Structure 1
Amino acid sequence: MTNHIDFQKIVDQALSGILLLDQNRKIVYYNQTSLQLFNCEPEKLKDLKDFLHPDYHEVCSQRLNRVFSFHETAEAMEQKLVTYTKEIIDVEIKAIPYDLSDKTLALIYIRDITKQKLAEKLLSHNDKLASIGQISAGIAHEVRNPLTAVKGFTQLLKEQVEHNYLETIESELDKALSTLNNLLQVSKPDLIDEARVPIRLCQELDSIVFMFQERLYNIEIHTDFKDRQQVFMGKKNILVKAFFNLIKNAIEAIEGEGKITIKHFVKDQVVHIVISDTGVGMKKEEIRLVGTPFFSSKPDGTGMGLTQVFTTVQQHQGEVHIDSVKGKGTCFYIMLPIL
């Protein structure tokens, strides 16, 4: 072991951002991790308040007052920061008193927990889907059996009696049974034993867009496909169905003229597919329910299409994120890891 230990280098390479604040809340010391966390140059890192999310200004001020006035430790607390480039990140912040000569400073530790929060959110959503799936599968089985029997007797009646109502009854029964079958597929995806095959997703997206050409006389579709030759190992049929559902929803969300943009690119061994539209959009409370069976923002929708999307992406160990503004449009971000 060498006699000289470079403590500055150790601190700079720490996983947490480390700051020292004086009594005026000004930053008098920072490590390199802090600069990376705030995504700014050294001359811009002067006041922590400049980077705190407005929702946490008051609580942060109260915590620092206790550090300086009562020499107390402010235990780790989840907060949000706004980087210099205006990106909002989740962090965990801890502050402890630090005596330097005759002054008390606040030693701040900041840990980026954005990925952790995202993973927790995804796990929570998956748990909800699993619970809903178990209930839905049971209901679907119980309802499908008597409906199948009714359909059978309806077909027998048609052979003996001619009546227009019988055609209507059979048609409506077919719709109900189709909905139940879709529900079973998304609630019990393991029932679909589809093998994974090499897929060029750009090629499949091109084909789906072509299928909708006759409906696009007042809608412009713009595609931006990079990494076209990338091969993805996946369950082709359900993936194609998922992207069909997303593009169909985007088209149906546009009232009158509008634009749909579809992007494809690969980054860090993850396939990114972004589908955005200039449609009616959704409220925040609606976004939280997206992917739940039978929830739909459309008057005649069943919600099964987006449930299938979430289930399919989950089967491929991927993630779905949604940005939407009521009256302006919606953007779906699909991330599929290349396993």
Structure 2
Amino acid sequence: MKSFGNSELDFSQLVKYSLDTIFVLQDEVVIYVNQAAFDLLGLKYPDQIIGVSFQSFLPPTFHSAFIERLERVWQGEVTEIMEQKMFKADGETIDVEIMAAPYKLEDHNLAQIRVRDITKRKNTENRLYNLEKLSSIGQMAAGIAHEVRNPLTTVKGFFQLLQKEINHSYFPIIVEELDNAIKTLNNLLQVSKPDFDNESNSSINLCSELDSLIFLFQEKLYNVTVTKDFQNSEREIVGKKNLLLKAFFNLIKNAVEAIEGKGEIIVAHFYKRGRIHIKIQDTGIGIPKEQLRILGTPFFSTKADGTGMGLTQVFTTIHEHGGHIYVESELGKGTVFYIELPCNI
């Protein structure tokens, strides 16, 4: 081991340049942070963080838990690692792991807060969970659809033979309803097991494609204002073009149909950190909170005459392309769909 002679070792640099984010608190106020803290929160100047309550970087739902853990630190306890969320300077919410420990400086009892950004890990976990959930639902739905479609097709065939012998005014209605049932089951099979092999990947400029999709709804937009906020329009993604266009068509269609009377739809596009971000927002009727978590499930729809197949196709397609989809909604105020997709840099 190398000897440093009589020189005094400066271990403060271990904290200053630590890969973990470190805060030192007096009461609840930040009195020291290392460089990693500025990088994590997207801050540039000390007065943006020094002398500021640590709670200002936490969502209100985490305040009580933070105070409880801080009180344990004042009593000399090292707390266990806890997952929670923090706010960055630009308002973005990130997932973090936080651990707190006592820190004695002269006669002052301080708290050392260690923070680690786990946003990427959580996104990966959520994506894998959603893929597993969609896969399970898809397998179940495909099995049911297959078993029901076959006998219905047989019934339709024999009924058409019967039509040649007997004529009745109700027969065309029966055939039409059988066709509708078989069509619904075929759609379910397509969504449950999307055929990605029949379409090759290609570069897609989503700004151009979204513009074209919006144009398709011109006849229905006489009471609706469409605001397009397209940034970084030169950026492209790689994927199955037809499947992605069908997904965005379904989202825009839902936004149009959610608005009763006059309203506004905002379609935004921008690039950030290697991903394309799409926002489709409407001022429609909104979705109850208890229904948000089951959006995308086959046969669940907020519409009276809906089958849920549209959003199932949207969620399946976005996840299969390595993307994420988030939904926020409030009754009477509208709904926002946030989509992230890997960018073809």
2:332 to 310, 327, 331: 327
Encode CA deviations 1:74-113: one digit per residue, 9 max, x unaligned: 1111233344555443322111222334444322111222
Alignment of 1:92-171 (within 5 A): 92-171=97-176
Encode CA deviations 1:213-265: one digit per residue, 9 max, x unaligned: 22222222222334444443321221121111111111110101111122233
Contact persistence 1:322–1:333 (CA under 8 A): yes
Moved more, 81-90 or 155-164: 81-90
Secondary structure of residue in 1 paired with 2:157? helix
In the TM superposition, what is the alpha-carbon distance from 1:307 to its structure 2 partner? 0.4
Alignment of 1:5-16 (within 5 A): 7-16=11-20
Name the aligned partner's letter for residue 18 of structure 2: A
Tell me the TM-score normalised to structure 2 length.
Answer: 0.88
2:64 to 58, 63, 67: 58
Structure 1: gaps spanning 5 or more residues: none
Q: Which residue of 1 aligns with 2:30?
A: 27
Write the distance in 2 (CA, Å) between the matches of 1:261 and 1:235: 24
Alignment of 1:1-339 (within 5 A): 7-22=11-26, 24-40=27-43, 41-45=45-49, 46=51, 47-69=53-75, 71-83=76-88, 86-190=91-195, 193-339=198-344
Write the distance in 2 (CA, Å) between the matches of 1:259 and 1:111: 40
Contact persistence 1:185–1:191 (CA under 8 A): no
Distance 1:295 1:75, change over 3 A: same
Distance 1:201 1:159, change over 3 A: farther
Name the aligned partner's letter for residue 24 of structure 2: L
Distance 1:186 1:195, change over 3 A: same
Write the distance in 1 (CA, Å) between the matches of 2:284 and 2:213: 19
Pick the structure with more helix per residue.
1
Moved more, 288-297 or 226-235: 226-235
Contact persistence 1:16–1:33 (CA under 8 A): yes
Distance 1:32 1:322, change over 3 A: same
In the TM superposition, what is the alpha-carbon distance from 1:136 to its structure 2 partner? 0.6
Write the distance in 2 (CA, Å) between the matches of 1:87 and 1:168: 54
Encode CA deviations 1:150-194: one digit per residue, 9 max, x unaligned: 111222223333222111111111111111111111111247532
Distance 1:257 1:44, change over 3 A: same
Write the distance in 2 (CA, Å) between the matches of 1:231 and 1:60: 42
| RMSD value, Cα | 2.5
Encode CA deviations 1:35-85: one digit per residue, 9 max, x unaligned: 33344432243232333333333332332222222x221111123334455
Percentage of pairs with the same residue: 52
Query: What is the aligned length?
Result: 337
Name the aligned partner's letter for residue 340 of structure 2: M
